[in-house]
Amino acid sequence: MLSYRHAFHAGNHADVLKHLIEVELLNYLGQKDKPYWYIDTHAGAGAYSLTEGYATKNAEFETGIARLWQRDDLPEAVRNYVDVVKRMNPDGELKFYPGSPWCAADVMPESDKLRLFELHPSDAQILQENFAGSGRRVQIQQANGFDGIKAVLPPPPRRALVLIDPPYEDKRDYHNVVTGLKEGLKRFATGVYAVWYPCLQRAEMKEMIPELKKLPAKSWLRAELHVQSPSADGFGMHGSGMFILNAPWTLPQTLNETLPYLVQHLGLDAKASFILETGGDL
């Protein structure tokens, strides 16, 4: 059940889409001079080496962050995200990749707080080590993030981004995402919620999207980046998506400018494409 290790995938096209949107959402929340929290239900290890260990196995970052890293024509949202990666690699060599908690800690004001859940004992331990010395700003629990959000919502400042990024190895994750969001919205209706999901030829995945659209939020946004055509055997991930509830009004325009660029530079075949749709108030 707990075999998933995110390090295998660190910095791949799916991380690019997820972390770029995460940074965009946090920067938007940070524009107001009011505190906010970052809540990560599936935090992973927080930071990854790209030169040793799991990440070198398939070197997925080579068709993800490595393709953007040196470019000087990045759209603003891509540049803001690449800048986080550059700050982690100050000597100019791509050796480390930031996980979602690291991206958040980098762009959030020092006074704003992070609440992180990670169930895997080894990754939770590495996460603790990566944020040692962060004091009360970062609280980490080795716990089930779907249960964890119930305890932290609503957050005291009444402003937050909640990132839900399960592995989906366990089919129940699809259902847990929908029920987790229902619970979350009941406790904290105005929160910004971002769900990452893999694009697979799998019934559970296809059924989840209409369920997400029906949730009682003010608005929703669905952004998918497909880097290649679905595999003939129906297995394997041909892309990934982010589904965002209560997204900022600026996000559709930003992604309209950003997603074609990602298709152009991260696409692996002629079927590379994107989906961007919105509903509710957006």
Residues annotated in a binding site for S-adenosyl-L-methionine: 19, 42, 100, 118, 144-145, 165
The helix/strand count (H/E) of the chain reads as 10, 10
For residues 78-89, one letter each, b for 16 or more C-beta atoms within 10 angstroms of the residue's C-beta and e for the rest, the string is bebbbebbeebe
Residue number closest to ligand SAM, CB atom? 99
Query: Does residue 117 interact with ligand SAM by CB under 6 A?
Result: yes
Which DSSP helix (H) or strand (E) runs through 219? strand 219-226
Q: Is 92 exposed, middle or buried (0-12, 13-18, 19+ CB in 10 A)?
A: exposed
Contact 272/210 with Cβ under 8 angstroms?
no
Q: Choose the stretch contacting ligand SAM; rule: CB under 6 A; options: 57-65, 76-84, 119-127, 265-273.
A: 119-127
In the complex, least distance from residue 73 CB atom to ligand SAM, rounded to whole angstroms: 26
Alpha-carbon Rg for the chain in angstroms: 17
In the complex, least distance from residue 83 CB atom to ligand SAM, rounded to whole angstroms: 17
Which one among 13, 42, 222, 226 touches ligand SAM, defined by CB under 6 A?
A: 42
Which one among 12, 17, 18, 149 touches ligand SAM, defined by CB under 6 A?
A: 18
Which one among 13, 113, 115, 120 touches ligand SAM, defined by CB under 6 A?
A: 120
d(CA 56, CA 61): 9
3-state DSSP assignment of residue 59 = coil
Of the residues 40, 112, 165, 173, only one is catalytic, namely 165
Contact 67/266 with Cβ under 8 angstroms?
yes
Q: 10 Å Cβ neighbour count for 39?
A: 26
* Site residue total, ligand SAM (CB under 6 A): 21
Q: Which is nearer to ligand SAM, 178 or 282 (CB)?
A: 178
Which one among 24, 60, 112, 123 touches ligand SAM, defined by CB under 6 A?
A: 123
Active site residue 91: no
Q: Which is nearer to ligand SAM, 125 or 219 (CB)?
A: 125
Binding site for ligand SAM (CB under 6 A): 2, 4, 6, 18, 40, 42-44, 99-100, 117-120, 123, 144-146, 165-167
Catalytic residues: 165
